[in-house]
Chain A
Amino acid sequence: DSGVTQTPKHLITATGQRVTLRCSPRSGDLSVYWYQQSLDQGLQFLIQYYNGEERAKGNILERFSAQQFPDLHSELNLSSLELGDSALYFCASNEGRWQETQYFGPGTRLLVL
């Protein structure tokens, strides 16, 4: 158990819908990272937050957004969902100040029908 939690574990929805994925980092971690794992794109970095502020953006679609709240949990919002958004979404965390390992949550498996 990495100490990072993600909810829900599975999500099935329809095209055009909006969903919210939630991540709680390890105790004491200030930095949260979101990654998408799909069959055709592999593991890709989406976005990073550090202590409530956006730190870096990767290949995140405009239909996707994220935020980190004062209690340091983070949410990834996916809207106008398409079939191609079906993937495993991971959250990872670390303290964020030095070059530490990122610890991954169990992931949220999203299926868009």
Chain B
Amino acid sequence: AQTVTQSQPEMSVQEAETVTLSCTYDTSESNYYLFWYKQPPSRQMILVIRQEAYKQQNATENRFSVNFQKAAKSFSLKISDSQLGDTAMYFCAFTRISNFGNEKLTFGTGTRLTIIP
């Protein structure tokens, strides 16, 4: 079974600063995907970024980037130039690659991020 651990329950940062959210995971699989989802106060789950384990290059989406360390099973999210709209709960998630298609997401417990004006 896979587990996902987010060790920072809450974080806060000043607007325009950079913040890094941590995530570690445990799996015996060699092929998998990792995700960061954002849940703002509206409670909608929004995809932030995705990383395929077979790719060595770290994924980047505008101000959001990841540091994927496969050997260490670490998957951190960096938010640059943070904005008030980034205030949300952030969830790290894992899904394994299967020959039978897509499988479930396993989520961490989340990190509540507050951007301070």
Q: Give me the interface of A with B, judged by CB distance under 8 Å.
A: 2, 31, 33, 35, 42-45, 48, 50, 55-56, 58, 88, 90, 92, 94-104, 106-107, 109
Q: Are A42 and B110 in contact (CB under 8 A)?
A: yes
Q: Are A48 and B109 touching (Cβ within 8 A)?
A: no
Q: Known: A104-B44, A104-B45. Is A43-B107 also a contact (CB below 8 A)?
A: yes
Q: Which residues of B contact A (CB under 8 A)?
A: 33, 35, 37, 42-47, 50, 52, 91, 95, 97, 100-107, 109-110
Chain B residues near A31 (CB-CB < 8 A): 101-102
- Tell me the bound Cα distance from A2 to B6 in angstroms: 25
Chain A contact residues, majority secondary structure: strand
How distant is the Cα of A55 from the Cα of B98 in the complex, in angstroms?
A: 12
Contact of A56 with B103 in the complex, beta carbons under 8 Å: yes
A95 to B102: give the CA distance in the assembly, Å. Answer: 9
A90 / chain B contacts, CB cutoff of 8 Å: 45
A112 to B29, CA, bound (A): 39
Known contacts A88-B43, A103-B47; decide if A48 and B104 are in contact (CB<8 Å): yes
> Is the beta-carbon distance between A101 and B45 smaller than 8 angstroms?
no
Report 27 cross-chain contacts, Cβ distance below 8 Å, ordered by A residue. A2-B44, A33-B104, A42-B109, A43-B105, A43-B107, A45-B104, A45-B106, A48-B104, A50-B101, A56-B103, A90-B45, A92-B45, A92-B105, A95-B102, A96-B102, A97-B101, A97-B102, A98-B101, A99-B33, A99-B97, A99-B102, A100-B102, A102-B105, A106-B44, A107-B44, A107-B45, A109-B43
